[in-house]
Amino acid sequence: MINIKEDENLNKLNHSCAHVMAQAIKHLYPNAHFWVGPVIEEGFYYDVDLGDKVITENDLELISKEMKKIIKDGKRIVRNEITKKDALEQFKNDPYKIDLINRMDENEVTISTYTQGDFTDLCRGPHVDNVKLCKNFKLLKFSGAYFKGDVNNKVLQRIYGVCFYNEEDLNDYLKELEERKERDHRKIGATQEIFMNHELVGAGMPLWLPNGAIIRKELENYIYEKEQKLGYLHVYTPCVGTVNLYKTSGHWNHYKENMFPSMKVDEEEFVLRPMNCPHHMLIYKNKLHSYRDLPIRIGEFATDFRYEASGAVKGLERVRCMCQNDAHLFVTPEQIGDEFKRVVELILDVYKDFGIKNYKFRLSLRDKENKEKYFDDDEMWDKAENKLREVLNELNVEYFEAVGEAAFYGPKLDVEVKPAVGPDVTLSTCQLDFLLPKRFDLSYIDSDGSKQTPVVLHRAIFGTFDRFTAFIIEELKGIFPLWLSPTQINIIPVNNEYHLDYALSLKEKLQSFKFRVNLDDREEKLGYKLRESVIKKIPITLIIGQNEVDNNTISYRLYGSSETINVEIDEFIEKVNQAIKSKKENI
């Protein structure tokens, strides 16, 4: 997908189209007042104050129609440069524009307006020469948006659109949008019964259905095995802690807005935990350690709770109750490089297994100005940031740097991926931390007998099982490989009267090998059942008729193929076993 914001020509065109939309809105709703209308990665939007009016689908159509009229009329777009005084006069009836003008310094910026026919907007530009060029546009959606993003302010109507120079590009984009909607894990999650939500449980608190639970269990087994081989020690800890625990760690000061409010039980004050680091620090501290014990890698599939705005929660991707594939690695300063490298290698290994190719490494650094979010120790930060940079360069992986994205306790490497719908999200993360070990007074005895403080690497390979599952649903378009598929084999007897007994015995036999088998014994036509097996994206469908019963064999079809293959049962079992073990897509 092209990034419209970064493409100079498309940026200009979309910006002009936003003005055309504003002009149309002004024609239809003369009392409309406009805030800002920026170009974004996938088009543009404009925030509009329409009084009490809330935009509907029908309005979108009316606005589109009016825009077409304006575009057909073909007025030129003309730039004018004006003084601040003139600007204040010209926009005196537009409170939002006055707000913008008041914040402009005439000595630093040129104040300009753009006019097309009866409509003038305060704007820096640039724009295309004529509204005619905006003809290949589409208004996409609308939502409410707080003025200046502040929940205490008025809700404005935000209308989104997109514009291309030719019809073909617009159609291609609209087709891609449709395809993305089909891939959306919320849609597949519902049709394939992977998860659900219920208002009585609450926003951002998904319930994993049996199919989803199978996928999650497989993911847990998969990563557990990898971590075990790498020397991780797995633990279980409670998903609450006292407020004092989070005061000790610093979360209470630096992470409070992401936490659920505390609750009092007897004389103690508890919080639902947003992170597991404090618990793991205490497990480390439970024993004395020598430098010879390090690295110590404490892992947990740990449930956390975070406050996410109700408008931001999204399926399994952004939730308020999540399960991290978490681990904290306690290392000596000399071991940072090697251990960090092992984590990056594990990330790459896992991504290869899942065929994940579209991702970006982001080195997330602190914002030096933001003393509230980040603890104040420049030397410690510089040391940590340089160390990560050094290892990344050594590993020769491509990455970009992002200021202000670090955790409050240290810089991190994040892996960014693009969901089917909506902005990029972080999947895996590996974070360097010199702070928490100090706050918990952790130590080890060094080779010279001195007491030293370990360094901690926080890492989550899947990120959370929730977000990872959302992501692979979209990557795989709901077509799971055999090892992950909730139902692996669907048995269809051609005729229940003659073939059901054999099908039943087959089911039992296959289940004894721990395959996940469904027997479709409904009194429906073969063609209907076969189609349904495909709709449900089941990897293997067995078709059991007289031939199979007589010869004690099976016939199967693989998802995506119409070829029917006849084999001996033992051969089939061997193939399935092999495919599951090697995590192949199918047999």
Interface residue list for Zn ion (CB under 5 A): 277, 458
Nearer to Zn ion by C-beta: 128 or 277? Answer: 277
Binding of ligand TSB at residue 460 (CB under 6 A)? yes
* Angstrom distance (rounded) from CA 478 to CA 412: 31
In the β-sheet with 425-433, what is the strand arrangement from edge to edge?
A: 232-234, 296-305, 321-331, 455-464, 425-433, 412-417, 359-365, 399-403
Buried b (16+ CB within 10 A) or exposed e, 189-205: beebebbebeeeeeebb
H-type alpha helices, 444-554 = 465-475, 496-512, 526-535, 546-551
Token readout for 49 is 């104050």
- Does residue 458 belong to the site contacting ligand TSB (CB under 6 A)? yes
Active-site position among 19, 458, 507, 516: 458
Query: In the annotation, is 328 catalytic?
Result: yes
Q: Toward Zn ion, which CB reaches closer, 328 or 507?
A: 328
Instruction: Say whether residue 426 binds ligand TSB (CB under 6 A).
Output: yes
Residue 412 annotated in active site: yes
Rounded least distance, CB 369 to ligand TSB, Å: 22
DSSP calls for 37-81: --EETTEEEEEEE-TT----HHHHHHHHHHHHHHHHHT-B-EEEE
| 319 touching ligand TSB, by CB under 6 A | yes
Q: Which residue is nearest to ligand TSB (CB)?
A: 463
Cis peptide bond prior to 419, omega within 30° of 0: no
Is 254 considered catalytic here?
A: no
Tell me, what DSSP letter sits at residue 133?
A: G
Tokens of 146: 């707080």
463 binds, among Zn ion, ligand TSB, none (CB under 5 to 8 A by kind): ligand TSB
CA–CA dist 13, 44 (Å, integer): 10
* Given 23, 157, 324, 488, the catalytic residue: 324
Residues in the chain: 587
Name the minimum Å distance from CB 276 to ligand TSB: 6
326 is catalytic: yes
459 interacts with ligand TSB by CB under 6 A: yes
Minimal CA–CA distance to 438: which of 334, 294, 330, 324? 330
Please, what is the minimum distance in Å from the beta carbon of residue 413 to ligand TSB? 10
- Greatest extent of the chain over all pairs of C-alpha atoms, in Å: 95
Q: Does residue 343 touch ligand TSB according to CB under 6 A?
A: no
**Catalytic-role residue among 279, 362, 412, 557:** 412
Which of 170, 96, 121, 166 shows the shortest CA–CA distance to 16? 121
Per-residue CA distances from 347 to 181, 223, 362, 477 (Å): 28, 11, 13, 22
CB of 311 to ligand TSB, least distance (A): 13
Binds ligand TSB by CB under 6 A, chosen from 279, 467, 529, 536: 467
* 292 catalytic residue (yes or no): no
Which of 269, 281, 282, 274 minimizes the C-alpha distance to 243? 269
- Binding partner of residue 587 among ligand TSB, Zn ion, none, CB cut-off 5 to 8 Å per kind: none
Q: Which does 466 bind (CB under 5 to 8 A by kind): ligand TSB, Zn ion, none?
A: ligand TSB
Q: Tell me the H-state helices in 74-205.
A: 84-90, 95-102, 167-183, 185-191
466 interacts with ligand TSB by CB under 6 A: yes
Span of 44-52, 117-125, 341-349, 457-465 interacting with ligand TSB by CB under 6 A: 457-465
Q: How far is the CB of 66 from Zn ion (least distance, A)?
A: 53
Which of these segments, 57-65, 87-95, 323-331, 479-487, binds ligand TSB (CB under 6 A)? 323-331
Please identify which of the residues 306, 314, 536, 537 carries the catalytic annotation. 306
* Binding residues vs ligand TSB (CB under 6 A): 275, 277, 306, 308, 318-319, 322, 324, 326, 328, 426-427, 429, 431, 458-460, 463-464, 466-467
Give the catalytic positions in this structure: 277, 306, 324, 326, 328, 412, 458
